[in-house]
Structure 1
Amino acid sequence: MLEIIATNLTDVKDAERYGADRIELSPAMSELGITPSYGLIQAAVESVRIPINVIIRPHSQSFVYNADDLEVMKRDIKMVKKLGANGIVVGALTKEGAVDIEFISNLLEVADGLEVTIHRAFDFSRNQIEALESLKQVPEITTILTAGGNYNAPEAVEQINELIDMASRTHLSIMVGHGLRVDSFEKFFQSTKPDFVHFGSGARKNDSFDYGLDETKIKTIKEIIAST
């Protein structure tokens, strides 16, 4: 499956038209993504048939959240559910750098029925193996997005393969993203073969979020996935 980051409604429509299997709706990628507006979520869901997963991130200060953040994020999750999106993309860390299972579990109290992806907060945790072991405790979580650490994914093939192997014995799937580029993707994909692939700037003109999605790049990515 190929997931594409969409930052606005035009991206959403183009992603479906160019062949994406799923969308992560995540504006403000210069800040690693911020919760989109009510209007954008609603328009996106109404405009396409492919699944849309919505990032729930109230600010870009860090991945460590307090009680006020929890209240806002719960309200946003309820909104996402009401508007008919497929799922949510969440994550949280403790001050010590561990995955904050208690905080995430509190979020998921209002996410019943939504698909749940853990975003790249996972890559900023103090230890990814420890983090995956913790996330195994939460059955509502379906997917972990990772680049194998605070790297570009092609730099962390060994770590990614270890995570894929660990997750294969659980209810979790690994989705690889960050730093993927079309010209090196085939070699990377052959070396890892993750459950899901996640493209952001690498699926855009000039490899930049300043530009729109590139139809040729997305079709090439899909062809590589299909043929490998």
Structure 2
Amino acid sequence: MSVLLEVCVDSPAGLEAAVAGGAGRIELCSALDLGGLTPSRGMIELAAQQAVPVHALIRPRSGGFVYSRSEVDVMLTDIEVARASGLAGVVVGAARSDGGLDLQVLRRLCEYADGLSVTLHRVFDLVPDPGQALEDAIDLGIDRILTSGGGVTVLGGLHVISSLCRQAAGRISILPGAGVTADNVAELIETTGVSEVHASCRTHAGKNDERLVALGFATDMSRNTSEEQVRALKQAMDGVRVHP
């Protein structure tokens, strides 16, 4: 069984590069430098024209994942925009003030996303009890959990990811992401047995104009999705097989 590569992108050029490089699925965002936010309707409609499945990140602001009632309403509307545009799925998450999953909010989001594929994003990496959170996600009908295993990168969370895969036992997909590269993806797949991986495949594209940085319009360094990195990662993955 081959392993699926999901690439997160936040621009039209990134979307084009990820598809050309061989991504099997797209996580569509804006502002990846902030961990990803909900993409614009224009980006959603552009991505919907691609031949690969596209999942939209539903995250209305940067920072933590404890949401107000009005923020949840925005998220519900954004899910409807993704559905109306023909996307295949959405990526959601919400937390309580104690760090646990906000099951009430997540239930509303999942019910509103009925018929779409649903991924629980890396809010999962902040929960105090990953094992219980996994069972909660299954009960909610979520399709997959995006996680670094609580590590800064997947290699730091490899033991936890492996444990989650054993606990999941095929009831939900574990989607490892954070620092996945062509150099480490074989170890990741062979150690955990996952059937899909998540990566940004971004590369530094040089310094931004100092005036743009000074006025707050840009970060110091520009990073773009690299078609070459996507292709290299895909080739490295294609050399590894997992048994269903």
Q: Which residue matches 1:111?
A: 113
Q: Which residue matches 1:219?
A: 231
The 3-state SS of whatever aligns with 1:24 is: strand
2: CA distance, partners of 1:196 / 1:187 = 13
Q: Which residue matches 2:94?
A: 92
Q: What's the % identity of the aligned pairs?
A: 32
Task: Describe how 1:172-187 pairs up with structure 2 within 5 A.
Answer: 172-187=172-187
- Residue by residue over 1:45-94, the C-alpha shift from the partner in whole angstroms, topping out at 9 and shown as x without a partner, is 12x11010000011113111121111111111111100111100000111
2: CA distance, partners of 1:91 / 1:75 = 15
> Which ranges in structure 1 are unaligned for 5 or more consecutive residues?
none
The 3-state SS of whatever aligns with 1:40 is: helix
Q: Which residue matches 2:125?
A: 123
For the Cα contact (< 8 Å) 1:145–1:177, is it kept in 2? Answer: yes
2: CA distance, partners of 1:194 / 1:33 = 23
Bigger Cα Rg: 2
Q: Normalised by the size of structure 2, how large is the TM-score?
A: 0.86
Which one-letter code corresponds to 1:198 in the other structure? H
For the Cα contact (< 8 Å) 2:54–2:89, is it kept in 1? Answer: yes
- Residue by residue over 1:173-192, the C-alpha shift from the partner in whole angstroms, topping out at 9 and shown as x without a partner, is 00000022322332333222
Which one-letter code corresponds to 1:62 in the other structure? G
Q: Which residue matches 1:18?
A: 21
Which one-letter code corresponds to 1:216 in the other structure? E
For the Cα contact (< 8 Å) 1:41–1:83, is it kept in 2? Answer: yes
The 3-state SS of whatever aligns with 2:225 is: coil
Aligned residues: CA RMSD: 1.7
Structure 1 runs of 4+ with >4 Å offset: none
Q: Which residue matches 1:193?
A: 193
Corresponding residue pairs, total: 223
Task: Describe how 1:124-139 pairs up with structure 2 within 5 A.
Answer: 124-139=126-141
Q: Which residue matches 2:78?
A: 76
Which one-letter code corresponds to 1:106 in the other structure? R
Q: Which residue matches 2:210?
A: none
Q: Which residue matches 1:53?
A: 55
Pairwise CA distance, 1:153: 0.6
Residue 192 and residue 169 in structure 1: after superposition, are their counterparts in 2 closer, same or farther (change >3 A)? closer
2: CA distance, partners of 1:204 / 1:33 = 13
2: CA distance, partners of 1:91 / 1:112 = 15
Pairwise CA distance, 1:216: 2.8
For the Cα contact (< 8 Å) 2:18–2:226, is it kept in 1? Answer: no
Pairwise CA distance, 1:161: 0.3
Which one-letter code corresponds to 2:203 in the other structure? K
For the Cα contact (< 8 Å) 1:124–1:150, is it kept in 2? Answer: no
Specify which structure has the bigger relative contact order, considering alpha-carbon pairs within 8 angstroms and separated by 6 or more residues. Answer: 2
The 3-state SS of whatever aligns with 2:36 is: coil
2: CA distance, partners of 1:79 / 1:68 = 17
